[in-house]
Structure 1
């Protein structure tokens, strides 16, 4: 999966937060308003970033009158997962990288990983 620049990431965060809150697709105006308190961006800049993200397949868009409505193609978690898998592909030893990663997480995060591995193992051990 392609990476995001700083402004693209900021725009995606607005859209992911909107999705998380059940807000659905957003117009460029909606995104501009959401960013108004944090960043002084021209509305045309937001429109350009949204268009670029749609062309990169991070967003799907649909017409709503004269405006476009944008929605993330994948969740924030899915995006981060793709980044992590891409990083693992960059190492010569995935196992060593995974071990180093697991040793660097908190106890709570390690418990989440252990639970997920336990669930994965129990699914694979079930008879067909």
Structure 2
């Protein structure tokens, strides 16, 4: 079976899917990593040069930073996964439309648990989580 891109048995990734996979590999890493480690994290049969291209694009967007390490480079995300998701939400809100209606529809679709969590967050109660520890609204937060 041949996919749309001519590769046997391969399916073409959707728009942004490979960028998301590269970011997921970077977030899963313990720190800055070379492109080969990112390629392993992405999995499948993604070519090394394709991973480099995606990393270069993410650097240009300001989502990933690249640092010199010996004769090569290492890559790391600029934001945590939660920070990146929040930035995306802000981008959507800033994209136009009636902010109140967008937020109202978002809140109306929340599960009871998420609605209760949002209520606590709005009142300044921040749960302790591994991912959220130290991210309480400022660089000096505990």
Contiguous gaps of at least 5 residues in structure 2: 1-14, 126-142
Match of 2:25 in 1: 14
Q: Distance in 2 between matches of 1:35 and 1:11?
A: 6
Matches within 5 A, 1:44-55: 44-55=49-60
In the alignment, is residue 90 of structure 1 matched against residue 101 of structure 2? no
Higher helix share: 1
* Alignment RMSD (CA, Å): 1.7
**Aligned residues between the structures:** 111
Q: Following the alignment from structure 1 to structure 2, what is the Cα–Cα distance between the partners of residues 70 and 48? A: 13
Q: Structure 1, unaligned stretches of length 5 or more?
A: 121-128
- The structure showing larger relative contact order (alpha-carbon pairs under 8 Å, at least 6 residues apart) is 1
Q: How does 1:1-128 map to 2 (within 5 A)?
A: 5-18=16-29, 23-36=30-43, 39-119=44-124
Q: Which aligned runs of 4 or more in structure 1 are off by greater than 6 angstroms?
A: none
- Summarize deviations over 1:109-128 as a string: whole Å, max 9, x none: 111100011118xxxxxxxx
Does the Cα contact within 8 Å between 1:91 and 1:97 map onto a contact in 2? no
* Mean CA deviation greater in 78-87 or 99-108: 78-87
Offset from partner CA, 1:91-114 (integer Å, 9 cap, x none): 432112111111101111111100
